[in-house]
Amino acid sequence: MSNNKFETKAIRTQLEHSQFQEHSTPLYLTSSFVFEDAEEMRASFTEEKERNIYSRFSNPNTSEFVEKVVQMEGAENGYAFATGMAAVFSTFAALLNSGDHIVSARSVFGSTHSLFTKYFPKWKITTSYFDIHKPEEIESYIQPNTKILYAESPTNPGVDIVDLELLGNIAKKHNLLLVIDNCFATPYIQQPIKFGADLVIHSATKLMDGQGRVLGGVVVGKTELIREIYLFSRNTGPALSPFNAWVLSKSLETLAVRVDKHCENALNLATFLESHNQVSKVKYPFLKSHPQFKIAKKQMKLGGNIIAIELKGGLEAGKKFLNTIKMCSLSANLGDTRTIVTHPASTTHSKLSSDEQLAAGITPGLVRISVGLEHAVDIVEDINQALTK
Ligand SMILES: Cc1ncc(COP(=O)(O)O)c(C=O)c1O
């Protein structure tokens, strides 16, 4: 399997057939598994025998889903979670001790930011933030107790690009764990492990499901780190449900074709918006005008499906835009077949102060567009009428 191409791995990584010889993997909707006798049960619990015991620990459907992501990211091992945030929280909670320190990009997803600022300080875990536009400053935030270097790329919602190779080199030099949230890119577009990441996290809720149906999360990377995360999760219980794992594993079979089309539609819309007279700024990684265009080209196969635009007229223009949209959805999700428009300042990042919002690159007129799979012409038409009306 390891020599096969991405699309083939996504489709042909599959559980062994059951006695029914089904073509498509069945759903193993079971909370536990049975044993032949006391000896088999004992050996399973001591891990002398590798097998499923209880679906909080593992389940055939979650194993298939995880194995696909492991193959796609070029990782050694992985564990799946009920949500992306469960994956983010459990990764930190499993690997950090009281007194440890994180160096993170300032622009990270709102709930991840809340973990760093509101919850981790309760356990004396502190965080310093670097500005992704000043990568030369990153090393100055590293302390003797720094354990994890953390970033998303592209970022949510500003669609900025972080140089993964640079982070990989810094992590190696200072003996830090590099953890990358690769949710916006998906493993089809970018594989952070190639640049030195130790762990890669996904909210599978986004492009991995891609159809706005189920929540899920996954972390993949080095076996010894995944082992810690697994032991933590086996006891604390953030496991992905077998049903959602089954849905997600099926979705991964079409990830490449879906993401190709998402990116084609997004580049088309971004190019159109660049010359729109109601838009003061368009940020899309594969537009030459993107500040980190060269880095995006170096580490990404395609530009992704998220566009950030700045409306002339700020907050009021943003509200009017959302109220005038006809086809696109006003929704908190992203990476769906349906194009979604959001206004981060009043939604996902509303819990941050206005100074914190600005520091994270969220201006009052910032609108995030998650470009879907509707016909490119219809997407452009709806966005255009909302901008011009
Ligand atoms: C970059 C990023 N990481 C993590 C998450 C959290 O994922 P979930 O909503 O599945 O918990 C999100 C959700 O939007 C996200 O955009």
**How remote is the CA of residue 215 from the centroid of ligand 1, in Å?**
9
Question: 159 in ligand 1 pocket by Cβ < 6 Å?
Answer: no
Question: 189 in ligand 1 pocket by Cβ < 6 Å?
Answer: no
Note whether 234 and 277 are same-domain residues. no
pLDDT tens profile 183-216: 999 999 999 999 999 999 999 999 999 999 999 9
Query: 């084609």: which residue's tokens?
Result: 264
State residue 74's pLDDT score. Answer: 97
- With the most atoms of ligand 1 within 8 angstroms of its CB, the residue from 155, 156, 362 to mutate is 156
Q: What residue numbers bound the domain in which 265 lies? A: 255-388
Q: Which of 190, 224, 252 is the last residue of a domain?
A: 252
Residue 59, in any domain of the structure: yes
Distances (CA, A) of 65 to 200, 204, 228, 238, 240: 15, 10, 20, 16, 10
Question: Is residue 352's pLDDT more than 80?
Answer: no
Question: 218 in ligand 1 pocket by Cβ < 6 Å?
Answer: no
C-alpha 313/C-alpha 24 separation (Å) is 52
- Percent of the chain past pLDDT 70, that is, above it, reads 99
Report the CATH number that the domain containing residue 46 is assigned in CATH.
3.40.640.10
Q: Which atom of ligand 1 is nearest to the CA of 87?
A: 11
Question: Is residue 369's pLDDT more than 70?
Answer: yes
**How remote is the CA of residue 165 from the centroid of ligand 1, in Å?**
23
Q: How many domains does the chain have?
A: 2
Note whether 247 and 302 are same-domain residues. no
Across residues 243-256, what is the average pLDDT?
Answer: 98
Note whether 79 and 227 are same-domain residues. yes
Note whether 318 and 375 are same-domain residues. yes
State residue 2's pLDDT score. Answer: 66
- Percent of the chain past pLDDT 90, that is, above it, reads 89
Contact yes or no for 15/65 (Cβ under 8 A): no
Residue 325, in any domain of the structure: yes
**How remote is the CA of residue 90 from the centroid of ligand 1, in Å?**
14
Report the CATH number that the domain containing residue 329 is assigned in CATH.
3.90.1150.10
Question: In 3D, which of 78, 70, 73, 80 has the Cα closest to residue 186?
Answer: 73
Question: Is residue 359's pLDDT more than 80?
Answer: no
Residue 1, in any domain of the structure: no
Q: Which of 205, 234, 252 is the last residue of a domain?
A: 252
Q: Quote the mean pLDDT of the chain.
A: 95
Note whether 211 and 268 are same-domain residues. no
Q: Which of 200, 235, 252 is the last residue of a domain?
A: 252
Residue 318, in any domain of the structure: yes
Note whether 97 and 211 are same-domain residues. yes
Residue 238, in any domain of the structure: yes
Distances (CA, A) of 192 to 75, 151, 186, 195, 223: 10, 11, 10, 5, 16
Q: pLDDT-based confidence at 122, cuts 50/70/90? A: very high
Note whether 65 and 193 are same-domain residues. yes
Full-prediction pTM beyond 0.85?
yes
Q: pLDDT-based confidence at 220, cuts 50/70/90? A: very high
* Kind plus residue range of the DSSP H or E element containing 23: none
